[in-house]
Amino acid sequence: MRFAQFYILGRLRNRTFFSLAEANAAIAGAVERMNTAPLGRLGISRRELFETVERPTLAALPAEDYEFAQWQFAPVGLDYHIEVDGFFYSVPFGLIGEQVDVRLTQRTLEAFHKGERVAAHSRRYGGQAHGTKPEHMPASHRHYASWSPERLRSWAASIGPNTEMLIGAILASRRHPEQGYRTCTGVLRHMRGLSKERVEAASAKALALRAFSYKGIVSLLDARASPEPASPERPAITHRNIRGPGYFH
């Protein structure tokens, strides 16, 4: 680069230019002469050297434009998610308790463990706070991957408004909605065969008590489904100290 600077300036230093286009044309001509002049020791020009030696070894340009990235560390929680800027992204569940390196660009998030990429997500800026991929789930969770909050609420709404609110409350009580899918599906299946009135009453009770666990809701459903036995009538007291109606006549 320094040689090119000296070569071009040395040949143009005494010229006066009256436009940028004229100066650029003169510079282009000087560059062309520099590249086509034979090199003393090699006997070939810089252009010939580039075409025969350097060009064949050049790699292709990257398919994508360079994108600025930031790096940070993130611990993997018990729910196999990492938190970045208030949003949660899943990584393989086998990394629970580990720390991963996170590469952030404007569009993507990548997680690396011991130099190997283990997860990639689209960057989140709004909407749902979680991003969970089925392949990151343990097998026991993967069964529920086809469910969604909308699907569960729709099922609950077919029973009644209290049931729909209960399912929504279960999902909201979990750090990630996916963690509530098993509870919701279990509760909704347990409601089959029960009258809508009983289910709605039990759902209202669960909401009032903030009982959002599977066992707590099922116990309320079963209690509503099994009415308490009526108290037996007490026999009349007949011992001799009780005055009968004839005493007052």
pLDDT single digits (tens) 22-64: 999 999 999 999 999 888 888 899 999 999 999 999 999 888 8
Query: Is pLDDT at 205 greater than 50 in this prediction?
Result: yes
Q: What is the strand order of the sheet 130-131 is part of? A: 81-84, 87-90, 130-131
pLDDT bracket for residue 249 (50, 70, 90): very low
Structure tokens at 159: 């029973």
Q: Taking 50 as the threshold, does the pLDDT of residue 79 lie above it?
A: yes
Instruction: List beta partners, residue 103.
Output: 71, 110
Neighbouring residues of 199: CB distance < 8 A, sequence distance ≥ 6: 159, 160, 163, 191, 221, 224
Report how far residue 196's alpha carbon sits from residue 163's, in angstroms, rounded to the nearest whole number: 9
Span 183-196, average pLDDT: 91
Question: Residue 75 above 90 pLDDT?
Answer: yes
Nearest-5° Cα angle at 175, 185 to 150: 45
**Mean of the per-residue pLDDT values of the chain:** 86
pLDDT (tens digit per residue) in 125-142:
988 788 889 899 887 777
Six-digit token string for 115: 């130099």
CB neighbours of residue 141 within 10 Å: 18
Lowest mean pLDDT among 36-45, 103-112, 199-208, 214-223: 36-45
Residue type for 197, please?
Answer: E
What confidence score (pLDDT) does residue 134 get? Answer: 86
What are the backbone dihedrals phi and psi of residue 151, each rounded to the nearest 5 degrees, phi first? Answer: -65, -40
Q: Does this model's pTM top 0.85?
A: no
Amino acid, res. 160: G
The CA distance from 26 to 22, in Å, is 6
